[in-house]
Structure 1
Amino acid sequence: MRILLVLAHPLEESFAASVTETVRRKLIANGHTVDLLDLYREDFDPRLSHSERSRYFEPAYDPSEAGPFVSRLKQADGLVLVFPQWWFNFPAILKGFFDRVFAPGVAFENDPDGGRIQPRLGNIHLFWAFTTTGSPWWVVNLYMGNPVRRLLKRGIAAFCAKGLDFKMVNLYDMDRIDDAKRKAHLARVEKLVDRI
């Protein structure tokens, strides 16, 4: 399987980078091909341009402004995202990745009559996310309703592909945990990725 592994964290020494490396190593060890897309290191511009937005609902939307990233998504069989949750949401660079790369004609088709959009990412069979948050479990799930999971699963994944293997794994209380818990989480990530 060809996996597009997307990292969205500005610090090269971040825990997200450690999770990404754990995922990358295990996938390669199991015979998968990994295309690592480090959004910050590749200087991805998350801003949807004026021309992109003005053409968004045209019948033949041209995604060429984000062409290299679109091509990498189209070549993948699976997508694995690694990112921190900030303010119970995606980092801006990852939100921009969805805005610019998951575009009409690439990830979905607009219904000209205003109905439900049609999924176009038939090549993507696996959609996993590994995230961290500084908040405890109860704040994310009970108080906030786990908005990132809902956006990923019910919004992006469901609207862009059918029959996906969807999984989201979150490490809570990131700002307060110790090294032992971080190591245990990396071991959990490795064990989960071994199933792919």
Structure 2
Amino acid sequence: MKKADHLIFIFPIWWDIMPAATKGFIDRVLSPGLAYDHHPRGFGLVPLLHNLKSITVITTMNKPKIMYSLLIGNLIRKVMIRSVFKTMGYKNVKWLSFTSVKRVSHEKRVKWLHELEKRFSKLN
């Protein structure tokens, strides 16, 4: 992880949040002394993965995006983006959400995959 340029998390949204395995990975791997440290003044965190250029969170879910945002409150943005990575001090964090997965056509899913391939082939 210390040599990584980019971190990419890919998971389904279950019961409006990430699966327990994803949360467990965050708790066990993105730990103090590796991913972040406590600020010397005692408040806040300092990022330690200095090679990271970006962090991308990719999720899938069956709910429509508007329903998730308005009714549930965008828990992924709150938990993964703000509470985990932004709190650790990482700046270039993006969330790509693929919604209504069961209702979209096969062609739409293939298009999503091609867009992801194109996007991540540009990383250096």
Q: Which amino acid aligns with 2:117?
A: E
TM norm structure 2: 0.85
Which amino acid in 2 is paired with 1:87?
W
Distance across 1 between alignment mates of 2:50 and 2:40:
21
Q: Distance in 1 between matches of 2:78 and 2:119?
A: 21
* Alignment partners' CA distance in 2, 1:194 and 1:161: 26
Give the gaps of 5 or more residues in structure 1: 1-72
- Residue 51 of structure 2 corresponds to which residue in structure 1? 123
Q: Deviations over 1:87-125 (max 9, x none)?
A: 111111110000001111111223587522222222222
Query: Which ranges in structure 2 are unaligned for 5 or more consecutive residues?
Result: none
Pair 1:193 & 2:115 matched: no
8 Å Cα contact 2:45/2:89 also seen in 1: no
Note the C-alpha offset of 1:179.
Answer: 0.9
Amino-acid identity (%): 32
User: How far 1:75 moved relative to its partner?
Assistant: 2.3
Tell me the residue number matched to 1:77. Answer: 5
Corresponding pairs, count: 123
Question: Could you tell me which residue of structure 2 aligns to residue 105 of structure 1?
Answer: 33
Is the 1:121–1:160 contact (alpha carbons within 8 Å) kept by the matching residues of 2? no
2:2·2:50 contact (CA, 8 Å) conserved in 1? no
- C-alpha separation in 2, matches of 1:107 and 1:145: 27
Alpha-carbon distance in structure 1 between the residues aligned to 2:81 and 2:58: 13
Q: Distance in 2 between matches of 1:195 and 1:170?
A: 19
How far is the alpha carbon of 1:182 from its aligned partner? 1.0
Corresponding residue for 1:21? none
Aligned pairs (5 A) from 1:53-72: none
Answer whether contact 2:10 2:59 (CA < 8 A) is retained: yes
CA RMSD of aligned residues (A): 2.0
Contact 2:36-2:88 within 8 A present in 1 as well: yes
Letter of the structure 2 residue corresponding to residue 188 of structure 1: E
TM-score normalised by the chain length of structure 1: 0.56
User: Which position in structure 1 is the counterpart of 2:110?
Assistant: 183
Q: Alignment partner for residue 88 of structure 1, among 16, 26, 29? A: 16
In 2, the alpha carbon distance for the partners of 1:113 and 1:97 equals: 28
1:172 maps to which residue? 99
Indicate the residue corresponding to 2:63 in structure 1.
135
Letter in 2 for 1:170: S
Residue 160 of structure 1: aligned partner = 88
Measure the CA separation in 2 of the matches of 1:128 and 1:141: 19
Higher-Rg structure is 1
SS in 2 for 1:98: helix
